[in-house]
Amino acid sequence: MNHAQLTALGRALRLLGEHGEALTADTPDARLHEIKADLRRALDLLDESVASTAPSTRCPEHPQGPVDESAPDLCLLCETRRRAARRAEYQSGGRPEAVPATAPSRYGVRADRPQPQQRWLPEAWNGREWQLCGTPRRDRHEAEAYLAAQRRGSRPAMAYRLVHEFTDYEVLRVWGTPVYVDIEPMGNL
């Protein structure tokens, strides 16, 4: 709504308010027809100034969202969120969540730390160091099959190894012999 529309609508509504205050039981019909014309003018101004469609819900967050007739605010999105919260509360047995410690631990608690993940890391020797040569795998046999395919490929590395990562790293198997390759010609002379 622009400023001119706002001004005209405000003036029309104030005029209607004055008509309402002046109404009595013996108001003549000519005056009622005048009020009717002013009402129509105010409604026309309101129709011109409204840019969007009427909200389909009473939700301030999703006024044009999908409608759920059983929701108090008619908003399907908010009602879905509320139902999920009630379902989670019901599934937890109504038990309150664990009471947080009075002071947070500097190092965290066990539940805060991620669970260790077991992975197998395929690595290739690039002449100077071991480097990851493929995606870490969750299955050891899949990682070994990947390295076998790499060894049979068109440009195999000098050596490959499979590293087991759990809470620490452990080299499981090495294929080939890693030899240190000096990148400077003639040994840096």
Checking if the pLDDT of 57 tops 70, the result is yes
Tell me what pLDDT residue 19 has. 86
Q: Whole-model pTM?
A: 0.35
Name the range with the highest mean pLDDT among 43-57, 72-86, 148-162.
148-162
pLDDT tens for 94-105 read 565 555 545 666
DSSP classification of residue 95: P
- Return the domain boundaries, the chain: 3-21+29-49, 52-93, 119-176
pLDDT tens for 106-135 read 666 656 666 667 888 899 998 888 999 988
Name the range with the highest mean pLDDT among 53-57, 60-64, 156-160.
156-160
133-157 average pLDDT score: 91
Nearest to 160 by CA among 142, 185, 178, 138: 178
Return left, alpha or beta for 28; rule: phi > 0 is left, psi -120 to 50 is alpha, else beta: beta
Tell me what pLDDT residue 152 has. 93
DSSP classification of residue 152: H
pLDDT tens for 176-185 read 888 888 777 7
Confidence of residue 27 (pLDDT cuts 50, 70, 90): confident
- Quick check: 16 and 39 in contact, CB under 8 A? yes
Q: Which tokens belong to 39?
A: 């009402």
The residue that leads in pLDDT, 93 or 164, is 164
Which amino acid is present at 74?
L
Q: Locate tokens 């080299």: which residue?
A: 171
Name the range with the highest mean pLDDT among 44-58, 84-98, 151-165.
151-165
Confidence of residue 141 (pLDDT cuts 50, 70, 90): very high
